[in-house]
Chain A
């Protein structure tokens, strides 16, 4: 069945470096991809929405130059956290959406030290 495969499941990086998170849609084409962030004991917060082949739309308060989103094909979207800092440590989740349904990745636990 349709799933979204998200990698890596966890990553530890040094402050100031960049980290890339990949999400691949399997057995379906994700016309739209959503990226969320979740801090401990909190709900998912939508960061940005991207459509294949176009620029992402960022939610208010989310820095587009810090969180680079690429959605170059209907099966692959990436989120790059640039110049990561400890406050960027969080659980990042992607969601691939066809016309009628949304499928979530398993999330990436990012820890910046």
Chain B
């Protein structure tokens, strides 16, 4: 079973920031928080991942709470092309440690004009 809880759907206005929350209260010390997204009928696309510090790349920012029990993915300026299902996953970084990417139901983000 997935170890994360996300709202099933969210709307965001184009050009505004999209903040997608994720609860992972049972996260283990060696588990990272990964975010992927899936646009309809395509394979998942990697967005960002982190352990305990906040992370930023060209796509998004990841804010992880100090207790690591929840996180927020931030798309700073959402566009219509960001409409997708966003998945938050916790897993060890190395699959040699038995890590697998187990997908939950994700959040369906709709960016509206």
Contacts and interface: CB of A to CB of B under 8 A. Distances in A.
Q: Do A and B come from one complex?
A: yes
A32 B101 CA distance: 12
A102 to B, nearest CB: 6
Interface stretch (A12-20, A62-70, A75-83, A104-112): A104-112
Contact of A46 (B46, B102, B106): B102
B103 A43 contact: yes
Interface string B83-99: 00001000001111000
Contacts of A6: 43
B41 interface: yes
Interface in A92-113: 93, 95, 97, 99-107, 109
B21 interface: no
B45 A104 contact: yes
B39 to A, nearest CB: 11
A43 B106 CA distance: 8
Interface residues of A, number: 25
Contacts, number: 51
A100 B94 contact: yes
A99 B96 contact: yes
Contacts of B44: 44, 93, 95, 104
Nearest to B85: A43
Nearest to A105: B43
A32 B94 CA distance: 11
B77 interface: no
Interface of B: 2, 36, 38, 41-46, 87, 93-96, 100-106
Given A93-B44, A100-B94, 10 more contacts: A4-B43, A43-B87, A44-B103, A93-B43, A97-B95, A100-B93, A104-B36, A104-B44, A104-B46, A107-B43
Interface of A: 4, 6, 31-32, 34, 36, 43-46, 49, 91, 93, 95, 97, 99-107, 109
